[in-house]
Amino acid sequence: MSDNPFNNTISSSFNEPSPSPSTQLREGAEEVLSKATSSLKYCTLSIEETESNLQTNSKTGISSFEDAIQRRNIYGPNEIVQEDDEPIWKKFLMNFIEDPLILLLFGSAILSFLMGNIDDAISITMAILIVVTVGFVQEYRSEKSLEALNKLVPNECHLIRAGQSSNVLASQLVPGDLVHFKIGDRIPADLRIVEAIDLTIDESNLTGENEPVHKYPNAIDKNSYSDQAASFIPMSDRTCIAYMGTLVREGHGKGIVVGIAKDTSFGAVFEMMSTIEKPKTPLQLSMDKLGKDLSFFSFIIIGIICLIGIIQGRSWLEMFQISVSLAVAAIPEGLPVIVTVTLALGVLRMARRKAIVKRLPSVETLGSVNVICSDKTGTLTSNHMTVSKIWCLGSMSNKSNILSLETNKNGNFKNYLTEDLKQTLTVANLCNNSSFSHEHGKYLGNPTDIALLEQLSKFDLTDNRHSFTKIVEIPFNSKRKFMATLLEDPNSKNKKVYVKGAFEKVLSFADTFISKTGKIEKLTDDYRSIIIDCAENLASEGLRVLAFAKSDVPNDVNDIKENSIPSLSFAGLIAMNDPPRQTVKPAIEELQQGGVHIIMITGDSENTAVNIARQIGIPVYNPELSVVSGDKLDAMTDDQLANIIDHVNIFARATPEHKLNIVRALRKRGDIVAMTGDGVNDAPALKLADIGVAMGKMGTDVAKEASDMVLTDDDFSTILTAIEEGKGIFNNIQNFITFQLSTSIAALSLIALSTALKLPNPLNAMQILWINILMDGPPAQSLGVEPVDHEVMRKPPRNRSDKILTTEVLKRLLMTASCIIFGTVYVFVKEMTEDGQVTARDTTMTFTCFVFFDMFNALACRHASKSILKIGFFTNKMFNYAVGLSLLGQMCAIYVPFFQRIFKTESLGLNDLLLLLIISSSVLIADELRKAWLKRKSIDDPMYYSNV
């Protein structure tokens, strides 16, 4: 995944059928991309000319780190940053103009001023400033939180500088740097390709063409174009250029950086993309709809209140001000913003727990996941491969006679080095793409390759790859299940093919084997059975088993094909141990208790998969029913798979295509599926799954691009924490919606009731606006960051079709609103009847009572079913600060003379405050009784409580 936030947008823009962004891009593509002169210039230059122009080397890169620093000072970082031309003060002022309700309030203030009500005009103006400021701060915080999400997964690349290999952030690249890339990587800058091994690159996010493009090191001959055409060679014809942001689909290669940041084809497209507005998320759209529906009903009620008040002979200006204030307070225009802030802060919290959620709507989906399909290697296991055992047919023909390297992990095994064992280790060495990094002091690359190279020293062997010339390589992938290289010895000119892979696959190519003395002997059926038995025995111990073989080929052979591998001589088996992560077993137990079905999908054999599954707690009661191999899966239709998948926990010898079938079958049943993956071919399944989960360390950029979530530690238990956070965030959204809507309903009902009963208005316009600040401000926001209750995992996954405003939520907010209404009306009527008229004291008591009700209501809304005594009063610091500041503001409103004039209040005595606290606490007491009833109900019916 790139650290640029625009990759997803660009990719989707080209592939979407909708006319807006994609049409704009396609129509202007030629003009925009013509600005990307670096790739156009260097695609016609030879490798030597490119080296000369950029003062670099196609083998070792830039000559020194000091030179790289100087270039970075000249060219700047390799980052594309969206420039925000609009100053913050302008954004703030736009909030006054864009909201029609705020304009109405301004009109009310002007009318008050013209009619001589200077105090009212000043008060309303001050209230407008406070309301707009609170809303602006929330939106600004949301934007900054979303910007922070885009930097959570920095884009790394494999750099060769001054002859040393290292993994660095793509932002560190400068023109002239040498970059190595392999299958699954995202190209970090515009590169002039200098080496290409079976290289194809997906450029669909730039060109819109889905077919990957084959790349070669050869320069483009501009003489083959007309003079006019040569000035703009089409992007698809620049086959020696790898473009920034594109994805390596097959093979690997090296390239010299010729363009960075905005001086790339991607950067040119980005400049145009920055003018296209991002669409809202589904959750934001649903909140918008909820807000519009509530606004519609609120406007009807407010209109009726205003009309009745005027008919009753009340001042039309007073009713106008109250109606507009009610509209501002009752209409939850801040709801989508608070939802976005809550989601964004939750995502940042997940990031601290090693789960990067790329798309905000995915947070909502996490709470509904009821099936997790997980890779074994690196996710359920530690992905730290170590060679455990070695077996060769020639020297260890007895399948129980296996060389174990675990007996003496740091010892020397040179004395065991028979010729067939030596050849096995030689194949493991030469059929290998890991490289040693002097900067990191270790090998970098695939964990399997690293483990094989690390064993050489135990037999006094050294990495011998520099002594051979690689002619052709067939890279390993999960469908092919083997890797092959054709190498030439520069001294003897002899050529050999070296192959490693799944033992079934390698054996299918072999018809001979290497004996203990190095002699080539015929591989009979009996010998083949011994090899298979030994491999299966090793796999049953939970080890990953690879077979190794080699073959001489004629000197005139310069190519090998996947479907025409020459007859091989089997050398031996190497079994590697990848122990389960310690955190996985308890995570699986907790997920299963919460009703989540765990399915392990692996390319390893059935025996290996079953052994690991039993170690980590995945139930395998009957392997005949619980385990399905890739061969069986091939013979099944989607309907057949959907029928049996309920009791299947393991898919062995599975390919990425099988993953796609599994996800399709699960979704056909109505399951909400999370799928993990790390390879290029995993991308379709990750995209099809409801939640695609990519690995942050070992995952390819293609997988990260297709996923919704990235695990930065590649640990399965992180999925548990992510689902837990997802459920918790959704609960928090429900809680603050309950708080907001109950307050909104109470405020509307209070004014409507007093108007209908021909009572004076209990709250004036300024007091209603202050209540709006409390409803949309810090107290509501603090409910969105309530710490996640770990017991949320005991509840079954939420049905994705469930509405946010469930029946239980509606009952709860109506009960809460009723408490606030009756309590506030009681105080108002009691105070008014004591002196027979409405005084400043009466409205102050009513106003303060409502605010106290609001604070107790917020306290009650911290959890839907658990008592405040159980969750604790001080577990949410932000809530405590928010409520504390709100109460301080209320004290200022009734005791500070300046604010007394604005809110038309007067000082209250200590007894008054105590009385109001006792009355307003009734909303908390009522909610606590409701929670106690729920708890009692759960004893009789556990499923009732779990679904509330």
pLDDT tens per residue across span 381-390? 877 788 999 9
Average pLDDT over residues 31-40: 60
Provide the pLDDT confidence category of residue 12 given band limits of 50, 70 and 90.
very low
DSSP-assigned letters across all residues of 793-837: GGSPPPPTT--SS-HHHHHHHHHHHHHHHHHHHHHHHHHHHHHSS
Residues across the chain: 948
Report the pLDDT value the prediction gives residue 6, as an integer from 0 to 100: 28
Q: Are 739 and 786 in contact (CB under 8 A)?
A: no
SS3 241: strand
**Residue found under tokens 């928090």:** 732
What gap in Å lies between CA 831 and CA 845, rounded to an integer? Answer: 8
411 vs 332: which has the higher pLDDT: 411
Domain 389-575 grouped into CATH 3.10.180.10: no
Which whole number is the average pLDDT over 922-948?
73
Lowest mean pLDDT among 512-526, 904-918, 932-946: 932-946
Instruction: Please report which confidence band the pLDDT of residue 18 belongs to, taking 50, 70 and 90 as the band edges.
Output: very low
Q: Tell me, what's the pLDDT at 400? A: 65
Q: Which of 594, 569, 536 is nearest to 796 (CA)?
A: 594
Which segment of 1-10, 412-421, 719-728 scores lowest on mean pLDDT? 1-10
Distances in whole angstroms, Cα of residue 923 to Cα of each of 349, 849, 876: 31, 12, 20
At residue 32 the predicted structure's pLDDT band, cuts being 50, 70 and 90, is very low
Residue 335 has pLDDT above 70, yes or no: no
Any catalytic annotation for residue 835? Answer: no
Q: What is the CATH number of domain 284-350+722-940?
A: 1.20.1110.10
Contact 597, 370 (CB under 8 A): yes
Average pLDDT of the chain to the nearest whole number: 80
What is the distance between the alpha carbons of residues 504 and 195, in angstroms, rounded to a whole number?
32
* pLDDT at res. 107: 66
The contacts of residue 929 (CB under 8 Å, 6+ apart) are none
Q: Tell me how far the alpha carbon of residue 247 is from its chain's centroid.
A: 19
pLDDT at 914: 95
CA 483, CA 501: separation in Å to the nearest integer? 6
SS3 call for 372 = strand
Output the DSSP codes for 478-530: TTT-EEEEEEE-TTT--EEEEEEE-HHHHHHHEEEEE-TTS-EEE--HHHHHH
- List pLDDT tens digits, range 604-635: 888 888 888 988 999 888 888 889 988 888 88
Provide the residue ranges of all domains of the chain, joining segments of one domain with +: 42-82+156-275, 284-350+722-940, 356-382+581-714, 389-575
Looking at per-residue pLDDT, the higher value among 131 and 871 belongs to 871
- Catalytic-labelled residue, pool 375, 604, 776, 789: 375
704 to 3, 29, 675, 943: CA distances (angstroms) = 11, 26, 12, 37
Residue 121: the pLDDT is: 67
pLDDT bin (cut points 50, 70, 90) of residue 24 is: very low
* CATH number of this structure's domain 42-82+156-275: 2.70.150.10
Q: What is the pTM of this model?
A: 0.67
Contacts with 230 (C-beta within 8 Å, 6 or more apart), sequence order? 44, 222, 223
Instruction: Give residues with Cβ within 8 angstroms of 444, minimum separation 6.
Output: 158, 165, 167, 434, 435, 436, 437, 450
Q: Give the pLDDT confidence score for residue 13 in this predicted structure.
A: 29
Task: State residue 85's pLDDT score.
Answer: 55
pLDDT above 70: residue 331: no
Given this model, what pLDDT does residue 139 score?
Answer: 61
* Whole-angstrom distance, CA of residue 876 vs CA of residue 315: 45
Both structure tokens of 234: 């089409």
Checking if the pLDDT of 852 tops 90, the result is: yes
Q: Which residue has the higher pLDDT, 118 or 906?
A: 906
State the pLDDT at residue 46.
93
Asked whether residue 399 carries a pLDDT value surpassing 50, the answer given is yes
**Domain spanning 356-382+581-714, CATH class:** alpha beta
The predicted model gives 116-141 an average pLDDT of 65
Check whether 160 has a pLDDT greater than 90: yes
